[in-house]
């Protein structure tokens, strides 16, 4: 081998060694998500004035409540652009659907003169879900807050506020509070034990009547936050989102959406919109996208500021992205996002649901379709 060839071999070996010894560079993300388009769709009502969408599955099926022509709130299922009155199975009683899983099973709550009853619905067949122990009205009232793909339901009662249902068996969870949602493993998230703290609940053993609880940590330093705070959703990976009250700094007190990865010693704030002071975390999917809403200043006046809520989609790659409002929402109207689905990234789509103002105090259920692109970091805008 001549000197030129030897030099080439040595240089190649040198660069190979440099590359191999810099594995952090190799593992660093090469792409990031950006929002390329977003549109909002009014899902309508059941003949009345108002509606609100509360959950959506990966098939694009949306559930919530909508007013009938008689002004009664009925649970609805919206699929393929058509809103169906699934609450009609209960007659003229109030009902709402709060969750829908991958198979289309719906969880919700029926309210009548005797109180409220959680239910699950497959097609037109509804099954009532009762309290963990036999109680007299109104303490036997139940309400649902979420459902997972296994058909387990989170919810509460006035007397034992935190529970879940599995195969129609009700289990009280540790402590008193409010169960807000659950993931595919049956881990339930909510507020717990009357302490104003946030807890996640998980069955401790095979017997479904015992559970364990863990505090969700506040952002650091925790002393800057009110000890009363909320958790609203938990992903299948155990990540939690919710809302905490920051009591230190300017301005304060303010509401702040937070995210916890399920393992860190502290959660993190998600921030606010450029002209706002408050934000609220509502849902999270397995790709770390978060749904919620935050305030923004719309008409700064000399003596006071006019603000409204804007629905947002959050990802750590792009922060809070304010979602579009309906044309009739106007500068003074608000929109809030409550849930999102978890479509495969290959679809390039994230769908969220919630509500938007259409007139003073009147809201309509809406769906947002957000187009997401993955771009090389060196080409990012």
In sequence order, what are the residues at sequence separation of 6 or more whose Cβ sits closer than 8 angstroms to the Cβ of residue 369? 38, 39, 41, 349, 351
C-alpha 148, offset from chain centre: 13
d(CA 179, CA 143) in angstroms, rounded, equals 10
pLDDT confidence of residue 173: 61
Whole-number pLDDT of residue 164: 63
Which three-class secondary structure string do you get for 96-152? EEEEECCCCCEEEEEEECCEEEEEEEECCEEEEECCCCCCCCCCCCCEEEEECCCCC
How far is residue 222's CA from residue 113's CA, in Å, rounded to a whole number? 43
Residues 6+ apart with CB under 8 A from 31: 374, 375, 376, 377
Q: Which of 4-18, 162-176, 255-269 has the lowest mean pLDDT?
A: 4-18
Beta bridge partners of 67: 73
Q: List the one residue out of 337, 339, 333 whose CA is nearest residue 357.
A: 333
- Token pair belonging to 109: 């709550």
Average pLDDT on 125-130 reads 85
CA 204/CA 235 separation, integer angstroms: 19
What pLDDT does 310 receive? 98
User: 44 has which bridge partners?
Assistant: 365
Strand order in the sheet with 106-112: 94-100, 106-112, 115-122, 125-129
In a 3-state reduction of DSSP, which class is residue 286? coil
CB–CB of 102/143 below 8 Å?
no
- Does residue 301 have a pLDDT over 60? yes
Choose among 308, 235, 311, 314: nearest CA to 276. 308
User: How long is the chain?
Assistant: 381
Q: What digits encode the pLDDT tens for the residues 33-58?
A: 999 999 999 999 999 999 999 999 99
Residue 170's nearest CA partner among 122, 105, 100, 161 is 161
**What angle is formed at CA 99 by the lines to CA 109 and CA 227, rounded to 5 degrees?**
85
Is the pLDDT higher at 179 or at 267? Answer: 267
Structure tokens at 78: 């919206």
Mean pLDDT of the chain: 83
Task: Specify the pLDDT at position 79.
Answer: 95
Residue 34, number of CB atoms within 10 A of its CB? 16
Residue 299, pLDDT above cutoff 80: no
pLDDT at position 321, please? 98
Q: What is the pLDDT of residue 258?
A: 96
Tokens describing residue 63:
């559930």
The answer to whether the predicted template modeling score (pTM) of the entire model surpasses 0.85 is yes
> Does 7 have pLDDT greater than 50?
no
Mean pLDDT confidence for 364-369: 98
Residue 273 has pLDDT above 90, yes or no: yes
Note the pLDDT tens digit of each residue in 148-205: 998 888 887 776 666 666 655 566 665 566 788 889 988 888 876 544 445 555 544 3
pLDDT tens column, 62-73: 999 999 999 999
pLDDT at residue number 266: 95
Q: What share of the chain is helix, strand, coil (3-state, %, to 5)?
A: 10, 50, 40
- Structure tokens given for 302: 């000399």
Q: Are 226 and 247 in contact (CB under 8 A)?
A: yes
Residue-wise pLDDT for 200-244, tens only, equals: 555 443 344 445 677 889 999 999 999 888 899 999 999 999 999
SS (H, E, C) 331-380: CCCCEEEEEECCCCHHHCEEEEEEEEEEECCEEEEEEEEEEEEEEEHHHC
Percentage, residues of the chain above pLDDT 90: 58
pLDDT for residue 101 is more than 80: yes
Q: What is the pLDDT of residues 311-354, one digit of tens each?
A: 999 999 999 999 999 999 988 899 999 999 999 999 999 999 99
């Amino acid at each position: 081998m001549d000197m030129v060839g030897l030099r080439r071999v040595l240089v190649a070996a040198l660069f190979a060694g440099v590359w191999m010894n810099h594995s952090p560079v190799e593992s660093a993300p090469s792409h990031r998500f950006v929002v390329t388009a977003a549109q909002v769709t009014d899902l309508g009502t059941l003949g009345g004035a108002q509606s609100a969408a509360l959950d959506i599955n990966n098939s694009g099926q949306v559930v919530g409540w909508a007013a009938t022509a008689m002004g009664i709130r009925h649970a609805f299922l919206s699929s393929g652009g058509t809103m169906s009155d699934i609450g009609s199975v209960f007659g003229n009683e109030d009902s709402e659907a709060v969750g829908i899983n991958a198979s289309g099973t719906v969880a919700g709550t029926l309210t009548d003169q005797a109180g409220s009853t959680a239910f699950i619905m497959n097609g037109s067949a509804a099954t009532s879900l009762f309290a963990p122990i036999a109680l007299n009205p109104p303490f036997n009232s139940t309400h649902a807050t979420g459902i997972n793909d296994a058909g387990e339901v989170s919810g509460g009662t006035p007397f034992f506020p935190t529970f879940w249902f599995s195969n129609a068996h009700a289990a009280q969870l540790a402590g008193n509070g409010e169960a807000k949602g659950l993931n595919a493993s049956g881990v339930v998230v909510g507020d717990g034990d009357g302490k104003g703290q946030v807890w996640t609940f998980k069955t401790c053993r095979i017997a479904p009547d015992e559970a364990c609880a863990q505090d969700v940590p506040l952002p650091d330093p925790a002393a800057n936050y009110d000890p009363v705070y909320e958790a609203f959703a938990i992903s299948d990976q155990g990540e939690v989102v919710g809302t905490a009250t920051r009591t230190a700094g300017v301005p304060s007190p303010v509401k702040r959406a937070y995210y916890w990865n399920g393992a860190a010693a502290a959660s993190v704030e998600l921030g606010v919109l450029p002209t706002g002071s408050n934000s609220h975390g509502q849902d999270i999917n397995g790709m770390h996208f978060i749904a919620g809403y935050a305030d923004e200043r719309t008409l700064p006046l000399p003596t006071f500021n006019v603000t409204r809520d804007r629905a947002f989609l959050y990802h750590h790659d792009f922060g809070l992205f304010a979602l579009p409002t309906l044309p009739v929402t106007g500068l003074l109207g608000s929109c809030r996002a409550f849930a999102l689905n978890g479509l495969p990234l290959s679809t390039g789509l994230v769908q969220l649901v919630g509500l938007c103002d259409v007139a003073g105090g009147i809201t309509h259920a809406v769906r947002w379709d957000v187009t997401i692109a993955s771009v090389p970091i060196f080409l990012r805008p």
